A and B are shown apart, each in its own frame.
Chain A
C-alpha cells in the first residue's frame, strides 16, 4: 500500500515538499510564537496573493513575484509599526485586504488555466514539479541559514528587545531579517497548503512545543517534529481519503495542538502561579 503510493512521481515530490515545508515552517514558527508575530504571519501570507497575481500577469514564476511582494509588505508592516504612526494591527488589516483584493482582480483579468485562484489560496501539493522543488529547497536553505547563524541573537531579541538594544545588538536589522524569513516561508508554503492556510503552519508547530515544555531547545525540536510529522501524515491521509491535502495538513496539525493543549503542564503551572501570587503578593 505504501509502496503503491510511493511509486507515483507526483507523490514522491509531494512528500518531499511536505517535509521541506513542515521543517521550515516549524523553525520560523518558533520565533513567530515567542515574539507573538502570528498576526504578521496572517497579514503577510494573505498579502502575498497580490504578488502572486502580478507574477501570473507578467509571466514570472508566482513564487518569485509573491516572495518579493510578501517581503515588501512584511517590511512595510515592520516599518509602519516601528515608526508608531499607525498601530501594527491596523497596518496589517489594511495591507492584507488591499493586496488580496488586488490579487483577486488581477487573477480574474488573467483568465488562464495557470492562474487558478483556488490553488494559490488553498494549495495543490500534488501538482508540484521538480522545478518547484528546487525553488522550495533554495528558499528554505536561505531561511535555515539565516536562522541558524543568528539563532542566539534572534532569541535574545525575542526575549527582550530593549535589553538586546542596550547590549548593542543590531535589533532593527535582526527584526527585518526575521520578517523577511516569514515572508519567504509564506511563499514556500504556497504550493503545499496555499496562502490562506499557511499562517497555520507558521504558528501551530511551535505552539505545540510551547504548550509541552519550558525549555526553548526542546520546544524547537518538538516544533520541528510536529511540523514534519503533521505535514507528511496530513498528506498521506488526504491521499487515501481523496480530500484536499492543504486543508488536511492544517486539520492534522490542529488536532495535534488540541492534544498538546489538553495534556499541557503549563495549565497546571499557570493555575499554581496565579494562586501563589494572589496568596503571597508579587514577591
Chain B
C-alpha cells in the first residue's frame, strides 16, 4: 500500500483534464473542459440536470471513451490504467440492484474485491478482512450479516461506500450519493466522506446538485453546464454571478445555497 501512495504522490494530480470534449452519440455533452484535481482533495462537481456531471464520472471510470482532448487519472488515460484501476472506487447514484437479491452485506462488499483479485481466482481470507475493514471505516461492521435488501437507504449507501473502498482505493467517485436519503442520513454520509478524506488521505470527487450541502465539506467546487464555468473554493463560487448563469432558472436553490450553515 505504501508503494501505491508514494507512486501517487510522485505523479502529481489525481485527475487532470485538458480541453476535454465528450460525445454521447451525436450529442456533445461536455465541451473544452480543463481542470486539475490534486491528490487528497475533496472536490464537488455541481451543475443542473443534464449538465454532463455523470458523463464526466463515466469518462474518469473508463466507461465512456468517445472523447477528445486529454484526461489523465493518476497520470494515465482511464482506459489504460491497468492494475491501478483498482485505486478508483465508485459509488453510483442508487444501485439498481433487486432489493430481494439473496446476498448479505459482507457478500456485497466483497464483490468489490472480485475484479482486483483477478478473473477466475477465488476470494481469500485477505479479501474478507479487507471487506470487514472497509465496513468498519463506514461504521457498518455490525450490519455485515444482514441481507442487503433489508437495510435502510442510508445504511445501503454506506455499504456501497464500503464496497467502493475495499480494493486499493485512493480515489472515490460518487454520483449523487444522497438521492433518496433524509437529512440526518445525508449529513452522516458527508461527515463520513470528510473523515475518509482527512484520515485516509483519499481524493474524493462527488457529483451533486445540492450546492449548499457540498459547500460545507468541499475544498473546491467544479461548476459545469456542458462547459466548465468555475473551479474555485466554495465561498468564491457562491459569491460569483456565474453560478446563476450556470444553473439558469434554478435560482431558488441558489438562494438556499447562499445561507449555508456554519458561515
Contact = CB atoms under 8 A, between A and B. Distances in A.
Given A214-B147, A282-B182, A283-B182, A166 B102 contact: no
* Interface residue SS majority, chain A: helix
A34 interface: yes
Contacts of A150: 119-120
A155 B108 CA distance: 10
Nearest to B107: A216
A155 B185 contact: no
Contact of A170 (B104, B119, B149): B119
Contact of A167 (B112, B120, B154): B112
A155 B119 contact: no
A218 B116 CA distance: 26
Contacts of B152: 283
Given A215-B102, A216-B103, A163 B147 contact: no
B95 interface: yes
The CB with the most chain B CB atoms within 10 A, among A164, A210, A269, A283, is that of A283
Interface residues of B, number: 42
Interface string A146-187: 000110110110011011111111100000000000000000
A61 interface: no
Given A166-B61, A283-B152, A283-B185, A214 B102 contact: yes
A139 interface: no
Contact of A155 (B88, B90, B111): B111
A89 interface: no
A208 B95 CA distance: 26
Contact of B108 (A159, A167, A214): A159
A28 to B, nearest CB: 17
B108 A168 contact: no
Interface residues of A, number: 33
A237 B225 CA distance: 68
B55 to A, nearest CB: 14
A273 B150 contact: yes
A163 B95 contact: yes
A216 B63 CA distance: 29
A168 B92 contact: no
A166 B87 CA distance: 12
B154 to A, nearest CB: 6
A213 interface: yes
Contact of B114 (A34, A149, A169): A169
Contacts of A216: 101-103, 107
Nearest to B119: A153
Nearest to B146: A214
Contacts of B185: 283
B184 to A, nearest CB: 8
A192 to B, nearest CB: 28
B252 interface: no
Given A166-B61, A167-B114, A281 B119 contact: no
A219 interface: yes
Interface of A: 34, 36, 149-150, 152-153, 155-156, 159-160, 162-170, 210, 213-216, 218-219, 266, 269-270, 273, 281-283
